[in-house]
């Protein structure tokens, strides 16, 4: 419980540091915390790309602790928030491994062979982080196609495939029993087992079965490093259905994180109103009403509410 609270506080502080800067366009500390004073007063905010965070800070001193932040464009902004919060502690570094439009369904639209679990393993093999933070899922509201099984190798005349030979070695009674048992299974139970080469729509049972495997594979890849792993949930996004979709994903992340024994940080309440609806504006950590979200309805402006959650 202590670790979970501490993780929540760290995540909240990080989100708080950078998000108003993303909206205001000015990345200076003065603009982040005092956007309505001085030269910025009544000045229209310049257009910014809300999907891309500013680059990591330059390292000027040797690091004593390193945290790796992995994920999509939301994770990119989260890492930027960490940089802002820990600017006065240059010995703590936040290394980003970001693929802005990626997800667990598709890492790269141009290369189906790439996936996050393998990318994470390869990345961590060359790094020595003290902790790992992952934030993914914004781009995963897509159908999943189960990979087709590889074609069997051609057999020589008179030679049986290995699977057939193994089945022949079993007793006839076992084979008959297995066939009878399969025939008696309810159709709905069979539907829960995705078939190779098939495509399944978002939120169907088959989709969930496949997606959970990808979450588990990602967690396993991150845990292989032997350091603490924190999975950060997604915030509500604009629109009734999109918000419902994100809530559905967060339930899956929370469930699998708990089962795997890693910390899950739920940030949902920081981005909705009293009725649980997506909030564009709201009180910051000092009680001042500010714009909390970017114009696209998905990206940051998290500053106020998330930092408020972390106050004692």
Q: Hey, where are the domains in the chain?
A: 2-146+177-309
Residues 6+ apart with CB under 8 A from 106: 112, 139, 142
272-281 CB contacts, 8 Å cutoff, 24+ apart: 272/236, 277/236, 277/243, 278/236, 278/237, 278/238, 278/239, 278/243, 279/236, 279/305, 280/238
pTM of the model: 0.69
Instruction: Tell which wins on pLDDT, 184 or 82.
Output: 82
4-11 CB contacts, 8 Å cutoff, 24+ apart: 4/263, 4/264, 4/265, 7/230, 7/263, 7/265, 8/265, 8/266, 8/309, 8/310, 9/310, 10/82, 11/78, 11/133, 11/230, 11/232, 11/265, 11/267, 11/306
Determine contact, residues 68/97, Cβ cutoff 8 Å. Answer: yes
Provide the 8-state DSSP code for 278.
B
Q: Does 125 have pLDDT greater than 50?
A: yes
pLDDT of residue 34: 35
Residue 41: both structure tokens together: 């007063």
Q: In this structure, which CATH number among 3.40.50.620, 3.50.50.60, 3.40.50.300, 3.40.50.1110 belongs to the domain 2-146+177-309? A: 3.40.50.1110
Instruction: Tell which wins on pLDDT, 23 or 287.
Output: 287
Q: What average pLDDT does range 56-81 have in this prediction?
A: 90
Instruction: Tell which wins on pLDDT, 305 or 192.
Output: 192
pLDDT of residue 299: 63
pLDDT of residue 286: 63
Q: Mean of the per-residue pLDDT values for the chain? A: 73
Provide the pLDDT confidence category of residue 294 given band limits of 50, 70 and 90.
low
- pLDDT > 70: what percent of the chain? 57
Q: Does 201 have pLDDT greater than 50?
A: yes
pLDDT of residue 41: 37
Q: Cα 167 to chain center, whole Å? A: 42
pLDDT of residue 306: 34
Q: Determine the Cα–Cα distance for residues 214 and 216; give it in Å rounded to an integer.
A: 5
Q: Does 20 have pLDDT greater than 50?
A: no
Provide the pLDDT confidence category of residue 75 given band limits of 50, 70 and 90.
very high
Provide the pLDDT confidence category of residue 187 given band limits of 50, 70 and 90.
very low
Q: Does 308 have pLDDT greater than 80?
A: no
192-198 CB contacts, 8 Å cutoff, 24+ apart: 194/144, 194/146, 195/146, 196/146, 196/147, 196/148, 196/149, 197/145, 197/146, 197/147, 197/148, 197/149, 198/145, 198/146
Residues 6+ apart with CB under 8 A from 2: none
Q: What average pLDDT does range 256-281 have in this prediction?
A: 82
pLDDT of residue 29: 39
pLDDT of residue 256: 98
Which class for 305: exposed (0-12), middle (13-18), buried (19 or more C-beta within 10 A)? buried
pLDDT of residue 52: 82
Provide the 8-state DSSP code for 187.
H
Which of 11-25, 71-85, 225-239, 268-282 is least confident? 11-25
Which of 19-23, 80-84, 198-202, 249-253 is least confident? 19-23
Closest to 268 (Cα-Cα) out of 259, 260, 258, 276 = 276
Provide the pLDDT confidence category of residue 51 given band limits of 50, 70 and 90.
confident
pLDDT of residue 113: 87
Closest to 292 (Cα-Cα) out of 70, 79, 77 = 77
pLDDT of residue 53: 85
pLDDT of residue 27: 41
Q: Does 224 have pLDDT greater than 90?
A: yes
Helix 116-125 to helix 205-223 angle (10° resolution) is 0
Provide the 8-state DSSP code for 40.
G
Q: What average pLDDT does range 159-165 have in this prediction?
A: 52
Torsion angle defined by CA atoms of residues 208, 275, 230 and 79, in that order, rounded to the nearest 10 degrees? 110
């Amino acid at each position: 419980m202590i670790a979970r609270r501490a993780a929540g506080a760290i995540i909240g502080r990080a989100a708080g540091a950078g998000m108003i800067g993303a909206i205001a366009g000015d990345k200076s500390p003065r603009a982040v915390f005092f956007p309505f004073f001085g030269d910025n007063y009544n000045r229209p905010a310049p257009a910014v790309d809300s999907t891309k965070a500013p680059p990591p800070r330059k390292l000027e001193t040797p690091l004593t602790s390193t945290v790796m932040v992995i994920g999509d464009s939301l994770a990119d902004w989260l890492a930027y928030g960490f940089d802002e919060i820990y600017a006065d502690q240059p010995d703590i570094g936040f290394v980003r491994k970001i693929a802005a439009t990626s997800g667990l369904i598709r890492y790269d639209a141009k290369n189906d062979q790439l996936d996050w679990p393998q990318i994470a393993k390869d990345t961590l093999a060359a790094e020595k982080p003290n902790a790992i933070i992952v934030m993914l899922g914004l781009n995963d509201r897509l159908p999943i196609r189960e990979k087709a099984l590889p074609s069997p190798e051609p057999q020589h005349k008179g030679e049986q495939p290995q699977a057939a030979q193994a089945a022949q070695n079993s007793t006839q009674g076992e084979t008959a029993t297995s066939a009878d048992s399969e025939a008696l299974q309810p159709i709905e139970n069979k539907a829960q087992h995705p078939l190779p080469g098939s495509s399944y729509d978002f939120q169907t049972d088959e989709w969930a079965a496949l997606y959970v495997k990808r979450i588990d594979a990602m967690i396993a890849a991150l845990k292989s490093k032997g350091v603490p792993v924190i999975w950060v949930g997604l915030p509500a996004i604009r629109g009734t259905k999109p918000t419902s979709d994100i809530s559905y994903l967060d339930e899956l992340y929370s469930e699998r994180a708990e089962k795997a024994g890693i910390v899950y940080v739920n940030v949902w309440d920081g981005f909705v109103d009293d009725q649980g609806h997506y909030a564009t504006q709201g009180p910051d950590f000092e009680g001042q009403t500010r714009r909390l979200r970017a114009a696209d309805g998905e990206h940051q402006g998290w500053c106020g509410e998330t930092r408020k959650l972390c106050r004692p």
